[in-house]
Amino acid sequence: MKRGAASQLRNSAAAVGYFVIPVAIVLFSPWWLLLAIVAGVAALLALTRAGRQMLSVTRIGISTIPQRLGASSVVVVGIAGVVAVLVALLAMAQGFQQTLRETGNDETAIVMRAGSQTELNSVLDHDTAVLVSQASQVMHGPRGQPIASPELVVVASLPKKATGLDANVELRGVGERAWDLRPNVQITVGRKFRPGLRELIAGKDAQRQFAGIEPGSTVKLNEQVWTVVGGFDSGDSHNSELWGDTDIIGSAYRRGSSTSSVTVRLTTPEAFDAFKAALQADKRVQVDVSTTRSYYNAQSDTISTIIRILGTVVGAIMAIGAVFGALNSMYAAVATRTREIATLRAIGFRGTPVVVSVMIETLLLALLGGAIGAGLAWAIFDNYTASTLGSNFSQVVFAFRVTPELLWDGLKWALTIGLVGGLFPALRAARQPVTAGLREL
C-alpha cells in the first residue's frame, strides 16, 4: 500500500516535471528557439521510423475529429476566448503606452517647476521661462530666436459626443516657436490660430471625441467666445488637445504671465546633460528638467502597467478554466478511441507514438483556437479607439494596437494551454491495458 502511494507520488512528480519544462520553454523562449524545436520535431516525424509511426497514428486520430466535433470545438473555442481577451487587454495597454511614447523624443527637453510631476501642476513665472529659453544648449531658428515654447496647460470641460456628458479636454497654450519645436504637427483643416486672438485649433482625436469644436464653431470659456479656426494632426497624444496662444489663454484663465512649462529643442541630444546641469546650478530658478521622451514615458507607465496586470490575471484565470475544458475533451476523445488505440497497441505500436499523436492533436486544436482568438482580437480591436484620464486630468485618446508580438504571445498561451490539457489524456491513452481496451464495448 505504502509503496503504491510512493510510486504514485513519484509518477505524478514526473508528470509535473514533464509539463513544467515544456510550458516554461513555450512561454519564455524566443520565437527562433520554438521554430527550431518545431522544425526538429517535424524532421524527426518525417525521417525516422518511429516518427513515421507517430505520424500515421496522428493521422488516424485527426481523421476521427469530425465524429467528435462538439468535444473538439470546446478546446478550440475555450482557447480562442482566452487568447482574444488576453490580446485585447494587452493591446489596450500597448496602445496607450505607444501613443504617449511617440509624443516624446530625445531632441527636445521639457522644463517644469521643481517637484511638480505634470504640466497641470506646474507654474513657472515669466522670468524663469525667459531664462530657460536663453540657455546656450537651446537650438536657434533661422531668424536667431531660440526654438523654445512657453506653454500653459489648463483644463476645459466640454460635452463628449458619445455620451453628451461633460469631460475634461486639455487646453494647451503654445508659444510662437511651437511649430518649429514640433514639425510633426500638420494643419489638416482651416488654418493656424493667430497669436493675440481668441482662436483655437483642435487636435484630430479631440475633434472626434468632443462636440462643438469643429472648425468654424465657437466655444465659450469663462464668458469669452473663442473661435475654432482649424484642426491639426500630430500623430501623438497632442491630438487629444486644443491649442491656442499661451498669453491669451493665460489671461482667460487668470494666470497672468506665468506658464506651466517650457519645451525647448536642444542643439543636439547630447547637449541635454549640460542643459540640465546648467539650469539646476542656476540659483535663480527651481526647476525639474527632463527629455520629453522620459517625461512622456513616465506619464504612460502607471496606467499601462495596471492594464497589463489586469489582462494577465484575467487571462491566467481564464486559461485555467480552458485547461480543464481541454482535459475534459481530450479524456473523452481518448475514451471514445479506447478500442482503436488498444488495437494499435496490439498490432505492435508502442506507447510513445500514441502519446505523441494525442499531444499533436491537442496542440493543433489549440493552435487553431489561438489563431481564431488572436484573429478576432485583431479584427475587432486593432485601432479601436478609447480614452482615459491622463496625468493632466484630461482625456487622452489612444488606439488599441494589436502588434505582431501580442499575436505571438497569444499563440504561445494557446500552445501552453494545449500542452497542459493534452498531456495527461495522452499518458492515459498510452497506459490503458490493451486487453481491457479490446474488451471494451
Partner 1 sequence: MKYLHLIWAALLRRKARTVFTILSVLTAFLLFGLLDTVRTAFNNVGGNVSGADRLVTVSKISFTMALPMSLNTRIQAVPGVAAVSYANWFGGQYQDGRDFFPSQAVAKNFFDLYPEWQMPAAQRKAFRDTRTGAVVGENLAKRMGWKIGDKIPLQATIFPQKGGSNTWVFDLVGIYHVSNPEQRGNENNFWFNYDYFDEARQFGQGSVGRYAIKLTDPKQATAVEQAIDALSADSDHETKTETEQAFTAALVGQFADIGLIVGSIMGAVFFTLVLLTGNTMAQAVRERIPELAVLKTIGFSRRSVLTLVLAEAVLLLAIGASIGLFLAGIAAAAVQTQIGTQLVLPPVGATEWLRGLALAAVIGIIVGFLPARRGMRLRIVDALSGR
Of 208-216, 233-241, 272-280, 381-389, which segment contacts partner 1 by CB under 8 A?
A: 381-389
Between residues 113 and 238, which has the closer beta carbon with respect to partner 1?
A: 113
Dihedral angle, C-alpha 415, 92, 384, 119, nearest 10 ° = -160
Taking CB under 8 A as the binding criterion, the range among 208-216, 292-300, 326-334, 403-411 that sits at the site for partner 1 is: 326-334
Which positions from 84 through 123 interact with partner 1, judged by CB under 8 A? 84-85, 88-89, 113-118, 120-121, 123
Count the residues of the shown chain that bind partner 1, applying the rule CB under 8 A. Answer: 54
Instruction: Say how far apart CA 238 and CA 253 lie, in whole Å.
Output: 20
First-last CA distance in the chain: 31
User: Whole-number minimum distance, CB 349 to partner 1, in Å?
Assistant: 25
163 binds partner 1 (CB under 8 A): yes
Cβ proximity to partner 1, 57 vs 92, nearer residue: 92
Part of the chain binding partner 1 (CB under 8 A), chosen from 14-22, 177-185, 325-333, 405-413: 325-333
Residues 6+ apart with CB under 8 A from 209: 160, 161, 162, 167, 169, 240, 387, 395, 397
- Is position 294 an interface residue for partner 1 (rule: CB under 8 A)? no
**Is the distance from CB of 172 to CB of 150 less than 8 angstroms?**
no
Of residues 118 and 145, the one with the C-beta less far from partner 1:
118
Selected binder of partner 1 within 71, 131, 266, 365 (CB under 8 A): 71
Contact between residue 145 and residue 303 where contact means Cβ atoms under 8 Å apart: no
Dihedral pair phi/psi, residue 405, rounded to 5°:
-60, -40
3-class secondary-structure state, position 125: coil
Nearer to partner 1, 146 or 390 (CB): 390
Smallest distance from partner 1 to CB 361, Å = 17
Long-range pairs for 279-286: beta carbons < 8 A, 24 or more residues apart:
279/111, 279/132, 279/135, 282/131, 284/127, 284/128, 284/131, 285/128, 285/131, 285/132, 286/113, 286/114
Interaction between residue 155 and partner 1 (CB under 8 A): yes
314 touching partner 1, by CB under 8 A? yes
- Does position 317 interact with partner 1 (CB under 8 A)? The reply is yes
Q: Is 73 in the site for partner 1 (CB under 8 A)?
A: yes
- Mask for 216-255, x = binds partner 1 (CB under 8 A): -----xxx-----------------------------xx-
Cα angle, residue 98 at apex, residues 205 and 379 outer, rounded to 5°: 75
Asked whether the beta carbons of 251 and 212 are under 8 A apart, the reply is no
Q: Which of residues 263-292 bind partner 1 (CB under 8 A)?
A: 286
Candidates 109, 132, 327, 414: give the one binding partner 1 (CB under 8 A): 327
Cβ at position 216, least distance to partner 1 in Å: 22
Please give the helix or strand (H or E) that residue 232 lies within, else none. Answer: strand 224-233
Whether 329 contacts 75, CB under 8 Å: yes
Residue 168 is a binding residue for partner 1 (CB under 8 A):
yes
Matching residue, cell 510631476: 117
C-alpha cell at 393: 486630468
If the CB atoms of residues 136 and 388 are measured against partner 1, the closer one turns out to be: 388
Write out the three cell numbers for 196.
493675440
CA–CA distance from 167 to each of 109, 151, 212, 284, 409 (Å)?
29, 22, 13, 38, 35
Binding segment for partner 1 (CB under 8 A), chosen from 24-32, 83-91, 235-243, 356-364, is 83-91
Using CB under 8 A as the binding rule, whether residue 167 contacts partner 1 is answered as yes
Residues of this chain that interact with partner 1 (CB under 8 A) are 70-71, 73-74, 77-78, 81, 84-85, 88-89, 113-118, 120-121, 123, 154-157, 163, 165-168, 221-223, 253-254, 286, 314, 317-318, 320-322, 324-325, 327-329, 331-332, 386-389, 393, 395
